Structure formats: C-alpha cells, structure tokens
Structure 1
Amino acid sequence: MTTSLTRRTFTAGLLGAALIAGAGLATPASAQSHQFKLSHHLAPGHLVDVASKRFAELVAEKTNGEITIEVFPSGQIAGLRQGAEAVQLGTVDFVWTDFGTLANWRPEYGFVSLPFLFQGDDHFAATFNGEVGQELREDVKANFGAEILGYGNAGFRVIATRDKPVNGPDDLKGVRIRVPEVPIFVSAFRSVGANPTPMAWGEVYTALQTGVIDAVENPAEGLAVGGMAEVTKYLSRTNHIMTDVNLLANGALMAGLTEAQQEAVRSAAATAVEEFNAATREASSKYWDQLAAKLEVVDTPDTAAFQKAMAPVWDEFIAAAGDAGKGWIEKVQAAAQP
C-alpha cells in the first residue's frame, strides 16, 4: 500500500488490530462469534444507511448469528476520508467510501470522479459489473489490503445555491461551494472559477445556514435527506459527476473468517448493494421532485458549457495519475460501447 500514515494513525492501527485480536477473530479453521463495526458518513435514513442495516441483517441471518454488525452513521466514528483510512488499518471493519477518496493515496483512482465521464446508470453498471470492476477489486486489495464487497451508484450530482440560480459555469464564479475532501472535486470547481471548500458532510447544513458557504453539490437524495432545501433557494440539474459509494471490508478481517462466513458476508453484501442500486434509481426522481417543490429549479442548465469548462480537469488528472489513470479512463469509455 503506497500511503503515508502518521505515527499516530499507525499506532491507532496497531491498537485497532490488537482490539480485533482480543475480540477473538476466528482463524479460517474455526467458527467463532464476532461483533464488527460498519461506518458511513451519511445521515440516518439515507439509502446507504438502509443498505448498511440490510447488510447487517443478512450477515446475521446467513451466519446464524455468528457475526453481528453494528452500523454507525453520520461519521460518528469516522468521516469519509478517515473511514477509508481506518478500513485499511483495521480500526474500522466495514466502511462505505468512494474512489475519489481513495485517490488521496492512489491518484489513479480519481478517474471515477472525473466530470462527465459516465453517460448514465447503465454505463455505471456495465463498467463495474464487468471486467473493470473485477480488476479494481484486485487492485484495491493489492494496494490497500481491503476487499471491495460491492459497487454502489449513489446518483449523479446536482447543485443547490443560496443566492442565485446556476444556468452555466459563469454563475459559479467566486461562489463558495462545499465539495467532499476529494482532490478531483476541488479541481473541477476551480476550473469554473468557483471557490471549492472541502468540508465534512455533517458541517454543511450549518455552513449554508450561516453563510460560511454559498452552495453545495450532491446527489438529489443527499440534499433532500440532509435538509438542504431549508438553507438554499435554487437547484440546478447539472449531473456533473457520478457518485460512487462502495462497501469495503478490512482484508485481514475477511481472511480471518471461515470460508462459510466469508461467503455469507460476500453474499449479504451483493444483495444489499444490488438493492441499494435499484433503490437509488427509483429514488432519484422522487428526491429531485421533493427538492423542486421547495426550491427554484434550473432543470436544463448548459451542461455542454460545464463539460467544456471542466475538460482541463481530465488533463490535470492524467498528468498526476499517469498511464495508470489514463488506462482506467479508456476502460470506462470502452464499457460504454454498445
């Protein structure tokens, strides 16, 4: 794993490993009872939270109660970036994270968050349910010691603003917009002249309410469940970046389970993530309509202008990620071919 961890976080990792060992982590030849933690950064009631509880329910059912999983939403034990680091160290057992966050340690993984890379939900499914998904599983395991249990599509991102509507990229000049702690998001909004402000999701509502930031971008579900219609006035369907949110397990944890337990965990994850993706597709229009009932809507912004303005982000990404990053882009583009 090519990551730079501080002495403090490394010590925390050793402590977490010791705690897991002290809890009696099974060897592959035994079948002991385990209690594990699952962390995600989204609000209770979000579809990720629903999927997390469904996963825990199915794991308990399939292992006859040998494995129980407690779900911690809203970044209670780890935010987005901290959770991605914690699942590598083993201080968190399961986590939902995205490739843009993993790009903090492996820049080539930022390809998933490139603006306007994915053409739609079907393109996402064709990419991650095929050879690209399998290659990424192997790559992440080799680089991070973590196992991808499922690829989640959390929807395409839109923009909500406090003070003015967004019809095109010029409307974002100077706008302080919250973005996740992901380098490619920062680059994307700098390219249109905005002032991107990385911020934990739990801080966004208050930041909008008090005027610390002027705007937020997220899938419609995240905006609706997070109550952002209460602190913004305008909504624009830019669909600028597809949002992946993937369920990962600590690799040492998985290796320590019996084969039957491993299969139960993987099967439960496959079902929970598949249900999540289906629910996301169904809910996207519902949550958009909920927001549109409260906000002034720009339903057809100038997406071609956004795509042109954000095009330099691709060049910047390839310069940073090299042939590895370019290779992933080409594989995604190939997956879109009929």
Structure 2
Amino acid sequence: MSLRRKISALASAAVLACMMGTAQAAEFEIRGSHSESVESPLHKGWLVFEAYVESASGGRIAVNISPAGQLGGIKDGLEQAKVGAIQMAHGDEQTLDSFYRPMMILATPYLFANDEEAQRFLHSAFFMGVREQMAKESGLRLLAAASYGFRCFTNNVKPIRSAADMKGIRMRVPPSPMSLAMVEAMGGSPTPVPWEELYGAMQSGVVDGQENPVGVALDYSFDQVQKHMTLDNHQLGLNSLVMNEAFYQSLPPELRAIVVTGAEMAAATEYGERNYQARVSAVGALQKKGMEVYAPNLEEQETFRQAVAGPMQVYLKKELDPAYVDAVYKEIADLRAAALK
C-alpha cells in the first residue's frame, strides 16, 4: 500500500473511531417529533432544546428531531411517545386532552385575558400539580408550554364582526370536542380537518374558514386561500414539549433538570417570536398580502363571549369534575387579582 493510501486509511479510521466514540459517549437518546415546518418558531425552539441539552449534559444526551410531520401528525407523535417508540413529542391545546382529559380546560374559549396571564397559570403551583397527575395517569409528562398566540377566525364568505355572523359558515376546527362545541354555540358549522389537510381543504372549498393564531396564518400563507380575518382571540394557542414519563424517570436527577431547562428555553424561544408576530408584524403583513383584517370593538367582542360562556360551562362540567373546573377558574381569578395589586 502506498504512503498516501496508508495516510488516507488511517485518517478514515480516525474519523470512524471519533464517530463511534461520540455515539458511545451518549448514554441517552431523545428522539423527538413535531409537525411544524423547519422555518417555524416552534422548530427554532426545538433546535435550542437540542443545542442546550447536548451541551449542558456534556454529550451524555443525544437529541434527534424529526420535524414537519415526518413521523406523522401531532396525535401520532404523542401516541408514539406514550408507548416509548420516541421519547419526546409536540402537543397542543387541542390534542392533549385525548391523553389526559383535564387538559381539555386549556382550550376553553376566552379562559385567559392575555398571554401573560396564561404564562402565570402554566407556572402556578396549581397547574404544576395537574402536570404531575398527567404524568402519573397518562405516561406523558408536559415539560414546558409556549403560547403561539390567540386563535382567530378566517373565512372566505364574509367579515365576521359578531357571533351572529358565524351562522352557516363551515368552519374548520381541529378534532377537539371543545372547538366543536364553541363553533356550534356561535351558530357555525364545525368541520374537523387534520392540520396536515387544512390548506387543501380551504383551497378546494371543503371548508369556508379556519381558526388559528395570526402568526400561523402568515407562516402558512393562508392569505392565498382566505379573504377575511377576525381578531376575536377566542382560544389561546399552546404548543408543548411532552416526554415519555418512563424515559424521564430513567434519567439521573441532574439530567432531568437539564431536560426541563432545555424545554423551558425552547418554549421561551417560540413564545418570543410568536409574540412579536402577533403584536407587531403578522397583521400588517397579511393586510399587505390582501387579507381583510377586522378587530371587533368591545361590544362586538362581548357577543362572542356571551355566545359561548353558558354552553362552555355546561360542557366542561359534564366532561370534567365540576370541582376541578371551579378550581381552575378560581386560580385564574386569583392570579388576575394578584396582577392588579
């Protein structure tokens, strides 16, 4: 063998040894799945999680992310995490209740006055207890959650200025009983469509409209298939990082702390960018693209709240422990009062 070939062979062997050493150094692997694009604020947050966890653990944890629905939709990912096929998945306010019923409360229309109030609730001692109970009963641990803005209605039929304008509109909703009940209470025709099929359903006219935060409408070019947007802010959009509980408990305490910190950093990253979109950039960008954006006045906003308030209370107390529902509302009222002091 020539000297050049010997050097090349030795170099290749060194690279292989290095790669093997790196693989062997990772004691744990976190395989994660989410359904959003690699350009989304959510994915940017997950990249922060990956970078932080691998670095802070000194290479003891390797993180591998499958984005953009490569492993299926949101519910698919959560099901895979539940059985341990992967270790971490993307949850949202519309799907967590399929795995732990009390999480349904998070999708209640007009539950929170603003993002800041929601963040205080999510980090409250009360809700931390709910998260622990979810881990015990479902096998899934909610590591962190990030607001991606309040959900707003868009449609191709007419401007929606009050709840009465919803009548007859085929409004796409996620496969969530709460969303179905909300649109029905307003007089609309709720039509469940998976996220992955939403754009095509609007484009083909299967549905007249949909409801998502402003930033999502911009990111996914809904302006190309929707004419009208109403800033009614009916539900808090909430993305979460969810981990298989058995895997979480298998980690040494110091690595669990790193994983939780990384998840909080991911949530903060997504929240920061989405907050900027919702408050500054996205509405103007959609208007420039031709979408008509309407902000209901206080009287019009109240028509939406009044339309759903009674039906939602009845629905929640039918589906959940009434004492739990009352406790949630009391906790939020207490947090709201404390914020005013």
Question: Shorter-chain TM-score: what band?
Answer: 0.7 to 0.9
**CA-CA distance at 1:326 after TM superposition:** 3.1
Alpha-carbon offset, residue 99 of structure 1: 4.3
1:211 to 198, 205, 217: 205
Question: In the alignment, which residue of structure 2 is the partner of 1:316?
Answer: 315
User: Secondary structure of the residue that 1:237 maps to in structure 2?
Assistant: strand
Partner of 2:167: 173
131-140 vs 234-243, which deviates more? 131-140
Q: Secondary structure, in 3 states, of the residue corresponding to 2:95? A: helix
Question: Partner of 1:26 in structure 2?
Answer: none
Is the 2:93–2:238 contact (alpha carbons within 8 Å) kept by the matching residues of 1? yes
Deviation at 1:327?
A: 2.5
SS in 1 for 2:337: coil
Distance, in Å, in 2 between the alignment partners of 1:43 and 1:202 is 11
Aligned: 1:299 with 2:300: no
Deviations 1:118-137 (A, max 9, x none): 01012112211221331122
Q: Which amino acid aligns with 1:318?
A: K
The one-letter code sitting in structure 2 at the alignment partner of 1:322 is: D
Aligned-residue CA RMSD in angstroms? 1.9
Cα separation, 1, equivalents of 2:106 and 2:286? 26
Instruction: Judge conservation of contact 1:158–1:217 (CA < 8 Å) in 2.
Output: yes
SS in 2 for 1:136: helix
* Count of aligned residue pairs for this structure pair: 309
- State the 1:231 CA deviation: 0.6
1:132 touches 1:332 (CA, 8 Å); kept in 2? no
Amino acid at match of 2:315: E
Query: Where does structure 1 differ by over 4 angstroms across 4 or more consecutive aligned residues?
Result: none
Residues of 1 paired with 2:317 and 2:80: CA distance? 28
Tell me, yes or no, if the aligned pair for 2:25 and 2:59 is still in contact at 8 Å.
Answer: no
2:320 maps to amino acid: A
> Normalising by the residue count of structure 2, what TM-score does the alignment of the two structures yield?
0.85
Instruction: Kindly indicate whether the alpha-carbon contact (under 8 Å) linking 2:27 and 2:60 is maintained by their aligned counterparts in 1.
Output: yes
Assess if the C-alpha contact under 8 Å between 2:93 and 2:237 holds in 1.
no
The 2-side partners of 1:280 and 1:108 are apart by: 26
Aligned-partner SS, 2:293: strand
Cα distance in 2 for partners of 1:117, 1:178 equals 21
Aligned-partner Cα distance in 2 for 1:126–1:266: 17
Give the aligned residue type for 2:286.
Answer: L
Question: Do structure 1's residue 202 and structure 2's residue 196 form an aligned pair?
Answer: yes
Residue 203 (structure 1) shift = 0.9
Counterpart of 1:288 (choices 275, 283, 286) is: 283
Residue 277 of structure 1 is aligned with which of 271, 280, 288?
271
The 1-side partners of 2:47 and 2:78 are apart by 19
TM-superposed deviation, 1:104:
2.5
Change in Cα spacing, 1:180 to 1:187, as seen in structure 2 (3 Å) is: same
Higher mean alpha-carbon deviation, 172-181 vs 262-271, is at 262-271
Deviation of 1:281 (Å): 1.7
Identity %: 23
Aligned-partner Cα distance in 1 for 2:78–2:177: 15
The superposition leaves residues 142-192 of structure 1 with CA deviations (integer Å, 9 ceiling, x where unpaired) of: 221222211211111111111211111122112111111211011101111
Matched position secondary structure for 2:190: strand
Tell whether 2:130 aligns with 1:130.
no
Shift of 1:32: 4.3
Q: How does 1:240-255 map to 2 (within 5 A)?
A: 240-255=234-249
Deviation at 1:111, TM superposition (A): 1.1
Query: Is contact 1:166–1:172 with CA below 8 Å preserved after alignment?
Result: yes
| Paired letter, 2:64 | E
TM-score after normalising by structure 1: 0.86
Larger Rg: 2
Is there any run of 5+ residues in structure 1 with no aligned partner, and where?
Answer: 1-29
Matched position secondary structure for 2:37: coil
Describe the superposition over 1:27-47 as per-residue Cα deviations: whole angstroms up to 9, x where unpaired.
Answer: xxx974333321122222121
